[in-house]
Structure 1
Amino acid sequence: MQVVYTPGVMAMGWEWRAWRRGSGVPRSDEVVGALSLVLDSNGFTAQLNSNKLVNNARLSVAILGFGLETPVRAGENRGEQLEHEFVVLGFASYQSNGRWQGTLPEAPLR
């Protein structure tokens, strides 16, 4: 994506503008495998179990926030509260051969 705007919707790694027209999410009939993920206090471990050889697999991890409010301090909406649902607070992408271990992306605490 060259430009960031809201709402920006991604599907299968690409910008997906058809969501505004009510189109269904693009699907792929290709079965790659099953992803397992274990979270603990130190981070995560993930593994892609596949019958195919996996090279350069990418795991994307997002920390999401729901029911968030932001007070508007300036401008025409000063004094209002903006309500947010399904917000990405932290994001990281990891490259591997199908096995990953790492720390979760940092997300701001309110």
Structure 2
Amino acid sequence: VDPFANPGYSARQRAYARYGGSQGVYTPEFILAGHEWRGWFQRQPLPLAQTPSPPVGRLVLEIDGDNLQLTFNPAPSAPAHLTAHVARLGFGLSTAVVRGENAGRTLTHDFVVLTLQQLGASATNHWQTRLAADSRGERQALVAWLTAPGQPAPYQAVGGWLVTAGTDGQ
């Protein structure tokens, strides 16, 4: 049993497949800029764009304790009623496998989605919520992104490490 499985995560993967961003639904799956990226299987570096894309606006994420605030200052061409999403990621997790093809092994995991919150569409480009709690992992990061209506691919994103007790935040 996958201790990190969540029906909502599988539904999101199916949405990417319907949208054409991936060829299937599997775990682990890595989506980069709205499209399936398999290079991580071969430990390839992330393919970063060589030419800058036109600016879409600036997304700012602020955290005060468990209170999260997102503000988007859009470029004039930005779509209206963007939806905000926030994911807490865990790093340095491990799972002792007792059955199946990996029986007897301990698997290590990074970039595990621990919580995923959809904050809904906003006409004001401002969102506030209480960050969903989850203490698993040696380190954690937070990523937030905006999607246009009917599009699962991110329109704008921001992220960084969470500073927790016992970490230096780097």
Q: TM-score, with normalisation over the residues of structure 1?
A: 0.74
Equivalent residue letter for 2:28:
P
Map 1:15-30 to 2 at 5 A. Answer: 15-17=35-37, 19=39, 24-25=47-48, 29-30=53-54
Taking only the aligned residue pairs, the percentage that are identical comes to 30
Q: State the Cα deviation string for residues 28-81 of structure 1 (Å, max 9, x = none).
A: 722111111111224201101124265111222110111111011223432321
In the alignment of these two chains, the number of paired residues is 109
Residue 26 of structure 2 is matched in structure 1 by 5
Contact conserved, 1:11 with 1:25, CA < 8 A, in 2? no
Q: Which moved more, 1:60-69 or 1:18-27?
A: 18-27
The answer for unaligned runs of 5 or more in structure 1 is none
> 1:5/1:76 Cα in 2 relative to 1: closer, same or farther (>3 Å)?
closer
> 1:35/1:76 Cα in 2 relative to 1: closer, same or farther (>3 Å)?
closer
Contact conserved, 2:57 with 2:75, CA < 8 A, in 1? yes
How far apart, in 2, do the equivalents of 1:101 and 1:55 lie?
A: 18
> 1:18/1:64 Cα in 2 relative to 1: closer, same or farther (>3 Å)?
closer
> 1:65/1:30 Cα in 2 relative to 1: closer, same or farther (>3 Å)?
same
Residue 127 of structure 2 is matched in structure 1 by 100
Contact conserved, 1:35 with 1:46, CA < 8 A, in 2? yes
Contact conserved, 1:38 with 1:46, CA < 8 A, in 2? yes
- Name whichever structure is richer in helix by fraction: 2
The answer for unaligned runs of 5 or more in structure 2 is 1-15, 18-23, 138-170
Residue 67 of structure 1 is matched in structure 2 by 92
Equivalent residue letter for 2:112:
V
Q: TM-score, with normalisation over the residues of structure 2?
A: 0.52
Q: State the Cα deviation string for residues 67-102 of structure 1 (Å, max 9, x = none).
A: 111011223432321111221111122222311101
Provide runs of 4+ in structure 1 moved above 3 Å.
17-23, 25-28, 105-110
What's the C-alpha RMSD, in Å, of the aligned pairs? 2.9
